[in-house]
Each structure stands twice: as structure tokens, then as C-alpha cells.
Amino acid sequence: MRELIAALPEGRVLTDPDVTESYARDRTFLRPGKALGVVLAQSRDDVVTTMRWATEHRVPVVPRGAGSGLAGAATAMDGSVILSLHRMTSILELSPDDEIAVVEPGVITADLDRAAREHGLMYAPDPSSYEISTIGGNLATNAGGLRCVKYGVTRDSALGLEVVLADGRVLNTGRRTVKGVTGYDLTGLFVGSEGTLGVITKATVRLRRAPAEVATVAAEFTSLREAAAAVSAIIAAGCQPSLLELMDRTTLKAIDDWKNIGLEPGTKAMLIAQSDASDSQGVAARMAELCDANGASFTALSGSPEEAAELVGVRRLAYQAKERLGQCLVEDVCVPRSVLPDMIGAVEAAAARHGVVIATVAHAGDGNLHPVFIFERGLEEPPPEVWAAADEVFREALALGGTLTGEHGVGLLKRRWLALESGPLATEIQHGIKQVFDPLNLLNPGKAI
């Protein structure tokens, strides 16, 4: 550690145990190991120096952004060094003509979006944590978000990367153009790799034209299945919503207890749909009609941008509201949209069968559900009945043709189920890829695969 401290500018390395502990976990309940220290990188050169040192001394490195992850990917391990990138916050370039931005990994997602909107553009990926999550963390987990139903996940906006490999070499992938098929898609490989293949130090991302206006619909339902049926109807009608979010009663009740949103006793689910089309009001009205036709007990259209923002703001309160109820095991299954009602029914059945509180929100237009298993605060990990319910939910998602994770990643939390989705051949190939990029297994070992 003395060598590392001497090799980096003053103040870059923290070794105080209490300070190190504060960097050692993400937003999960997982207990971190004891790290040797924290590197507060401020440049690519800091990352290069750290990785060369780590390779020389065989020290594991855990890359970290804002620590807002929900799968344990940024959890420190014993004897590791935490490599924090949150000080690399420069927007290096923003080109309205090319509709791209070049950014460092510590840039906050919402800050990039605000900078783009000054030029009539927007950064499309929109995770619920957009005010605190970083671009680097979003790239590492291939984060999705509220707008992904129309604009895709982070990988769809990633054009090129600068990556520091495990031995300190610097790799540039991708391009500045929207098209490009030269060689293998290394950019896509690094996006979603959870810091196990390299450390992203710069990204070229795609921007899109900001919509002139948006219109939002909020619809209440007396059952989750009716709300899911409305989702299917909206997609089938070709409405192309820019946002289509579903919340169950447990979630709504948590928000209402906190913010007093006026929840009606009979409301079991709320659907929030938004259009940013040129005829956004007309599309929103059509989505409202489809909600009514599928059993909505109440629908409301936003009358102004402020009202639209307020409706979406209710959805963004969901996770914080659930954290007020207890500790949370936040899950992230994704199924084909056509079987969304079946998956919602399976989550409800698992909660009833095991006597577990599950609060569910969904990026419904993608079939991506976030069932949040709530358990007693203070426990080191979820009790057996919570794990049993989670196991049932995961197995049902796979049986319906889905996946264990749509956007949060595997991290540490989902490793116990990984073999159910990745067969032996896929596992062998992924381990081979890891060996190529990180033969000493120093980068975030034990995560993702």
C-alpha cells in the first residue's frame, strides 16, 4: 500500500478503516469484506497506475461508481482495493451536430441529460436513480430505466469506450458513428460486464432529440392482472409509449404513507404511461381509452408538463418508499411482454404461499419486473422464507422464457441461480472471455459470472 500511495498524487489513496468501510458496499444488505483501502481516481492515469500496481502485487480491485447498485456488484472483498471513479466527472465533449457526448465515468446520469437538453437533445437511458447514479455504473450494469421501452437500455446508447485492462493497458473500443461493424463488438461486451473485464474511464454515448412535448396518463386498477392486460393492449395498438410503468398496491401504499398521494382503498395497481410523439396528447388519450377498456377504475391525463413530471415523480419515489418499510431484497426478472400477467400472478402467489411481503414495480412495456422482498430491518440477510419466495419467482421467470435480470446485473445476489439460465457451454465460454481480459482474476472477482 505504501508503494501505491507513493505512485499516485497526494490524497488519492484512503486507508482509514472507517472511511474505507463507507466505500465498501452498495445499496444491498450484503456485508462487505475488509478492503485495504480506496483509490479516488481523478484521471485515466490514476486507474492505469492502480491496475499496474494491482497486477504486480496480485491485489483484487473492486471498481465503484456511486454505489447505487442493487445486486452487490460493488461490494468489497477481503484484501481488495476499492477503485472509486466518482471524481471523474467531466463532460469532455457534447456535439449537437453529431448527437454524441464524450464523458468520464463519474458523470451523474441526470447531469448529462440536463447538459444535452441545453442543445435540444437528451440522454435517453433513464434509471430511477438517475439523480445519483453515474454513467460508468450504468454502463457496467447495462442499466435500463423508465424510458427504455422506447429508447432501449444503456448498451443501445453506448458507441465507444476507453477501458483500462487488468494489467494497466488502455483499450479503445467502438467509434463516434452510429453505424460500425469492424471486428467484434467489444463495446457491447464491456457494457454489462460489472467491472469484471476492465475499468471504463471514458465513454462516447449517443444523444437523441429531446421531444417538444410529452403527455402522461395515470390509470388505477382494481387488480394487477387488469393493469397488465392494459399494458398488452397499449403495445398491441402500436402506441409506442416512451414510458410505461406499473406499481402494485404495496408500493402505492408505501408511497401514500410517506407522501400522501390520495390512494383510494380499492386501488390495487397504477399504470403510468407517457408519450413523447409529435401527437403526444392524441396518443395519451388513446392509451387512456385502452386502460378504460381493460378495467381501469380511474384515468387521468396530464394537462401540463408540470403535471406530467409530478405523475412520473410518483414512480421515482417507489424504491425509497419501500426502504422505509424494512430491508429490501430487490429483484429484477424480465419476461416476454405477452406473459407479463402470468409473471405478476406468480409473484403474488409466491408472496401468499411463503407469507412474504413483496412490493412490485415494473417497466411494464419491457416485461421487466422489480419484485422487492421486504424483511425485518437489522437482519444480516433475508430469512429462509424470503429466499424461498425469491427462488420460486426466478424459476417461474425462466419457465416463462424470461431472464434472471433485466438491468441490475448478477453481482453477488444472483450467483446461486446463475446456472439455471446459463448452461455449461455458455458458462465455459464466459469464463474463457474473463481469462482473456483478466487472467489473474483481479477485477471484481466472484461477480457477474
Check residue 134 and give its pLDDT: 98
- 153 HSE (CA, 13 A, CB side): 20
Q: Which positions ≥6 away from 181 have C-beta within 8 Å?
A: none
From the CB of residue 212, how many other CB atoms can be counted at a distance below 10 Å? 10
Pinpoint the alpha helices (H) of 152-223: 186-190
Q: Cell match 475499468: residue? A: 199
Strands (E), 34-174: 37-40, 61-64, 81-84, 91-95, 100-103, 121-122, 158-164, 170-174
Mean pLDDT by 10 residues, the chain (449 residues): 97 97 94 97 98 98 96 96 98 98 98 98 94 97 93 96 98 94 96 98 98 94 92 94 95 95 94 95 96 96 85 89 93 92 92 96 93 92 96 97 94 92 94 98 96
Predicted TM-score of the model (pTM):
0.94
Q: Partners of 298 in the beta sheet?
A: 220
Q: For the chain, first and last CA: distance in Å?
A: 29
Of 212, 215, 211, the C-alpha closest to 239 is: 215
Check residue 338 and give its pLDDT: 87
Integer Cα distance of 141 and 407 in angstroms: 7
Check residue 221 and give its pLDDT: 97
C-alpha cell at 304: 401540463
Integer Cα distance of 3 and 116 in angstroms: 41
From the CB of residue 52, how many other CB atoms can be counted at a distance below 10 Å? 17
